[in-house]
Amino acid sequence: MLKKVNLGVLVSGSGSNLQSVIDNIELGKLDAAIKVIICNNPDAYALKRAKKHGIPSVVIDHTKYRNRELFDLKMIEILKSFSVELVVMAGFMKVLTATFLRAFPMKIMNIHPALLPSFQGLHGQSGAFEYGVKFTGCTVHFADEGVDTGPIIIQAVVPVCDDDTVEILQKRILKEEHRIYPQAIQLYAENKLEISGRKVRIRDHKKFEGLPQHNPPLEKF
Ligand code: GAR
């Protein structure tokens, strides 16, 4: 049996990605244990999820800190005290400082609701929707000093349909987020992620066998 990887999950809001990690751990599909959940927003629904599953949670309200550095130092202190090996950003709406990145080098994952490097930043879903792309999706990547720029681990492609609203699209993307995040963490737990510069190679894993997709579908061609 694999050794379980100790996770620290950072959240700011609803925590549905956190929930998918919790559920997959409870189902025995994910060789990980959530040691602590850190939330910067005292009113986040994610805190209720933590409580329901008996997982320690700590609120670190960023508005109470003079600068980002001090806020990050507090997070580092908590994560280290819980022996966290991998930091999982799950809808965590703060940008990490270099101090934090140095404390967990290539041991921080983030999920973004777009196909990076398109539509980085705060409005991944609406950015893609407004732009009029025919496909968008979601990405799990390692965090680096940029915003949504680190080496990509896994992506899921989601079609955009003519009668979509942003809300419908958001839900379609979120459903895939809940699948790819546990997969990325499991690949880490299995020590299958090999980082070389910007590229993440997946050791001893199934290869992509799907066909190119077209939206709208091709008819005669
Ligand atoms: C998710 O869609 C996640 O990809 C996004 O916030 C949502 C959090 O939902 N993250 C970002 O936009 C980061 N730039 P959740 O709290 O229900 O997991």
| Rounded Cα gap, residues 118 and 138, in angstroms | 10
| Whether the predicted pLDDT of 14 surpasses 80 | yes
Judged against a pLDDT cut of 90, whether residue 199 lies above it is answered with yes
**Catalytic-residue membership of 112:** yes
Answer yes or no: are the C-beta atoms of 193 and 153 closer than 8 Å.
Answer: yes
Could you give the domains of the chain? 1-105 (3.40.50.170), 110-202 (3.40.50.170)
**Helix (H) / strand (E) containing 112:** strand 108-112
Is residue 56 pLDDT above 90, yes or no? yes
Is there an atom of ligand 1 within 6 Å of 184 CB?
Answer: no
Site to substitute for ligand 1 among 167, 177, 179, most atoms within 8 A of C-beta: 177
pTM above 0.85, yes or no: yes
H or E element, residue 84: none
Beta carbon of 112 within 6 Å of any ligand 1 atom? yes
65-116 residue pLDDT tens: 999 999 999 999 999 999 999 999 999 999 999 999 999 999 999 999 999 9
Instruction: Report, as an integer, the average pLDDT of 171-195.
Output: 98
The mean pLDDT of the chain is 97
Q: What pLDDT, on a 0 to 100 scale, did the predictor assign at position 2?
A: 80
Tell me if 7 CB under 6 Å of ligand 1.
no
H runs (alpha helix) in the chain: 16-26, 46-52, 68-81, 98-103, 124-131, 166-189
Residues 6+ apart with CB under 8 A from 44: 11, 12, 13, 14, 15
Q: Can you tell me the mean pLDDT for 156-170? A: 98
pLDDT of residue 167: 98
174 lines ligand 1 (CB under 6 A): yes
Closest ligand 1 atom to Cα of 170: 2
Closest C-alpha residue for ligand 1 atom 17: 16
Residue nearest (by alpha carbon) to ligand 1 atom 16: 15
Candidates 112, 141, 178, 205; catalytic one: 112
User: What confidence score (pLDDT) does residue 140 get?
Assistant: 98
Tell me the percentage of the chain whose pLDDT exceeds 90: 98
User: Residue 24: pLDDT above 90?
Assistant: yes
| Residue 35 pLDDT > 80 | yes
Output the pLDDT for position 175. 98
**What digits encode the pLDDT tens for the residues 121-162?**
999 999 999 999 999 999 999 999 999 999 999 999 999 999
